Structure 1
Amino acid sequence: MHGVRNSVVELRQYTLHPGRRDVLIDLFDREFVETQEADGMAVLGQFRDLDDPDRFVWLRGFDDMPSRAQALSRFYGGPVWKAHRDQANATMIDSDDVLLLRPVTAAAGFPAAATPRSPVGHPSPPPSIVLATLYYRDHPFDEAFVDFFDHRMRPLLAETGAAPLACLQTEHADNDFPALPVRTGENAFVWFTRFGSTAALDDHQDRLRRSDRWREQVLPDLSAMLSGAPQQLRLTPTARSLLR
């Protein structure tokens, strides 16, 4: 993983034909990891959605918007994608659910991976869970919200076993590679954390629900700042995901 170099991140959620997710993951992990990185992007993590058997989620990072357009042009105009795109596209119903994001501060991006990526065909590492929490509002997230998150939410999340790993918000720059659509007209704040097991995630959520400070002081103020209920993605890393 390329640490805080990734000032632009795509959160990509694909809806797949029933029973085709492992076909795409096998192809992706074998053909689309090192080849994308060779063209100037970072494959930060790829996942099965624990709550939807036909959803594949992955994260891709870029140094900035101009380098994003250049890297995407190289990859999608290159031989690897042309050789495998028909097989990949055959697994997909929709691949346009994409949030274009940036770290909320220079230090809030994904940290460097603790361990190297597993080789192709290597046995899967022990299971883990990555939790992505998505907040939405009808105007951009600002410094006041980041301050609220950092000073009132982050300590409580850490106390209950869910220290945030990275915090991102919508990148409002124009999509300069229109061949790959992204969601527009939205304001998102997305934070990520990880757990060693589903039991650890369940324990965090139970401790948070039982926290008087969360229920009485933090949650009411958080809810007042958001438009609608938060969305959570419970993600299980593939064998070759760096983020795990």
Structure 2
Amino acid sequence: MFDALPLRRAEHAIVELRQYTLHPGRRDELIELFEREFLEGQEAAAMEVIGQFRDLDHPDRFVWLRGFSDMSTRREALADFYGGPTWKANRDAANATMIDSDNVLLLRPAYPGSGFRVEGKPRPPGATASSDGLVVANLHYFDAPVSPWFLAHFHNMRRPPLAAMGATLLASFVTDYSENTFPALPVREGEHVFVWFAHFADEQAYARYWQLMEALSTNGGSKPPQVPHRVESLRLKPTTRSRLGISW
């Protein structure tokens, strides 16, 4: 169906996609606190903050990603961080900005080699970094687990148009059905999702991509073997200390 790549050592077996709804006008406050206090502290606890973003369509939404090598490591890492001094010193300030922090999807790479690869990419120091372009997350919701035939369709039919638009496919994931090993932080259950991330030069390039996909569909392009009942698109702008999406 497609050529599977060997799992790379730096590829995270487990990734959380976290979408926080914040009190109006307080997103920049949380981002400043998050990037000052929480990045290095989390990574010292055996997890990696892959990227953090402003949602361009929802001014009070903060989106971020973090990865783990496995679920056992996730349990230990989260216990270390949320039981440690950095979170305890700053949790009240962080929680005061939030309305909801439970919109969390637990994901795994859709196939070997399809995860994020940020190894060797240093974290930007802050305000001097430039967040070039647009990172897009597309979430396809299904009524059943994502089939290998859908993954093959995506690999064969969606990747070439992305390349034609000068876009970069960053990663693709499906739901991980493991038991939540750290129940103090809820995750969404009962979901069957396929999520892909791409980087576009700008919003116009992203719009041209969807025009091309609509044209291919109208002209009798290949239909997917499994059809989602809903597709959610997130247009994301990397923050200045995001490892993903900066200085492409």
User: What is the deviation of 1:185?
Assistant: 0.4
Percent of pairs with identical residues: 50
Letter in 1 for 2:21: T
Compare the two structures and name the one with the higher helix fraction.
1
Give CA-to-partner distance per residue, 1:61-80, whole Å, 9 cap, x none.
Answer: 00011000000000000000
TM-score, L = length of structure 2: 0.90
Give the conservation status (yes or no) of the 8 Å contact 2:21–2:62.
yes
Partner of 1:130: 135
User: What is the deviation of 1:193?
Assistant: 0.2
Give the conservation status (yes or no) of the 8 Å contact 2:140–2:232.
yes
2:150 aligned with 1:141: no
Partner of 2:32: 26
Give CA-to-partner distance per residue, 1:46-96, whole Å, 9 cap, x none.
Answer: 000000000000000000110000000000000000000000000000000
In the alignment, the residues of structure 2 paired with residue 197 and residue 35 of structure 1 have an alpha-carbon distance, to the nearest angstrom, of: 32
Give the conservation status (yes or no) of the 8 Å contact 2:137–2:195.
yes
Give the conservation status (yes or no) of the 8 Å contact 1:113–1:243.
no
Partner of 1:239: 240
In the alignment, the residues of structure 2 paired with residue 16 and residue 87 of structure 1 have an alpha-carbon distance, to the nearest angstrom, of: 12
2:110 aligned with 1:107: no
Give CA-to-partner distance per residue, 1:115-145, whole Å, 9 cap, x none.
Answer: 421114x323143210000001111012111
Partner of 2:45: 39
User: What is the deviation of 1:155?
Assistant: 1.8
Q: Give unmatched runs, 5+ long, in structure 1.
A: none
User: What is the deviation of 1:15?
Assistant: 0.2
Q: 2:89 aligns with which of 83, 93, 97?
A: 83
In the alignment, the residues of structure 2 paired with residue 112 and residue 18 of structure 1 have an alpha-carbon distance, to the nearest angstrom, of: 32
Give the conservation status (yes or no) of the 8 Å contact 1:237–1:243.
yes
Partner of 1:158: 163
After TM superposition, list the pairs within 5 Å mapping 1:191-202 onto structure 2: 191-202=196-207
User: What is the deviation of 1:218?
Assistant: 4.1
In the alignment, the residues of structure 1 paired with residue 204 and residue 119 of structure 2 have an alpha-carbon distance, to the nearest angstrom, of: 23
Partner of 1:98: 104
Give CA-to-partner distance per residue, 1:19-68, whole Å, 9 cap, x none.
Answer: 00000000001111011000000000000000000000000000011000
2:169 aligned with 1:168: no
Aligned length: 238
Give the conservation status (yes or no) of the 8 Å contact 2:50–2:118.
no
Partner of 2:124: 118
Give the conservation status (yes or no) of the 8 Å contact 1:8–1:102.
yes
Give CA-to-partner distance per residue, 1:120-173, whole Å, 9 cap, x none.
Answer: 4x3231432100000011110121111111112222332233342101000000
Letter in 2 for 1:132: A
Letter in 1 for 2:146: F
Q: Give unmatched runs, 5+ long, in structure 2.
A: 1-7
Q: Secondary structure at the match of 1:66?
A: helix
Quickly say closer, same or farther: Cα 1:106–1:137, change in 2 above 3 A.
Answer: same
Give the conservation status (yes or no) of the 8 Å contact 2:161–2:209.
no
Q: Secondary structure at the match of 2:219?
A: helix
In the alignment, the residues of structure 1 paired with residue 23 and residue 144 of structure 2 have an alpha-carbon distance, to the nearest angstrom, of: 35
TM-score, L = length of structure 1: 0.91
